[in-house]
Copies of this chain bind each other. A is one copy, B any other.
Amino acid sequence: MNMSIYDQYQENKRFVSVDCVIFGYEQEKLKLLVFQRAIEPAKGEWSLLGGWVNANETTEDAARRVLHKLTGLEDVYLEQVHTFSDPKRDPGGSVITVEYYALINIDEKASNLIEDYGAKWHTLEELPSLIFDHNVLVEKALEKLRLRSSYEIIGRKLLPKKFTITRLRNLYDQIFQRKFDPGNFRKKILSLKVLERLEEKDMSESKKGAFYFKFKPKNESEFTDPIFKRSI
């Protein structure tokens, strides 16, 4: 099998899985992709997307592999959240799981594939009860997403190529579960100079119309300080 000078410790080997909390944004709502578990135990119940970690890959590779299989998407934003290891967390056996969250743009081709796997988008409010500790994982992913969103403008992967400031603000309203002041949010975001205004307007939401914006190419090492210095 796999050569290792640790082979004398074989009895210490463990089952290791990844679980993905998949966030998407659609119709002004932050949504979460959950699906019906294909194997026992708890087969058929709602669960996060998961899979085993192979010996020749990283946990992030494994997360990308299962995400690609489910959605067909290659270029997904992934962030490691936490590792859960309670031997009793999975009644089927002692499994250590490494949690990631993923951000994907719902409107992409993914949809058909997703449905083939019996997966379904849920808003945060309508999220069903999930197996094992998966509801805890969702909370933890949300915390991490909030932390990330307060250090950089999230949305490159969640929003379509062009979007209005109102749409971005709405995304932040969803992530932080509060209402940001439209004027203040606009000024703050524009002051960061990460967005570029297009000439085109979105006329569907208002009579005046709202300019579309797009993200400028990502600048490495931007924002080491929090964007919102006071209680966001």
Residues of A near any B CB (own CB < 8 A): 1-7, 9, 11-16, 40-41, 52-60, 80, 82-83, 85-87, 92-96, 98, 225-226, 229-231
Contacts and interface: CB of A to CB of B under 8 A. Distances in A.
A12 B83 contact: no
A40 B58 CA distance: 23
A57 B40 CA distance: 23
Given A15-B12, A52-B9, A53-B14, A2 B58 contact: no
Copies in the complex: 2
A1 B93 CA distance: 12
A6 B225 contact: no
A153 B63 CA distance: 35
A56 B87 contact: yes
Contacts of A231: 225, 229
Nearest to A62: B85
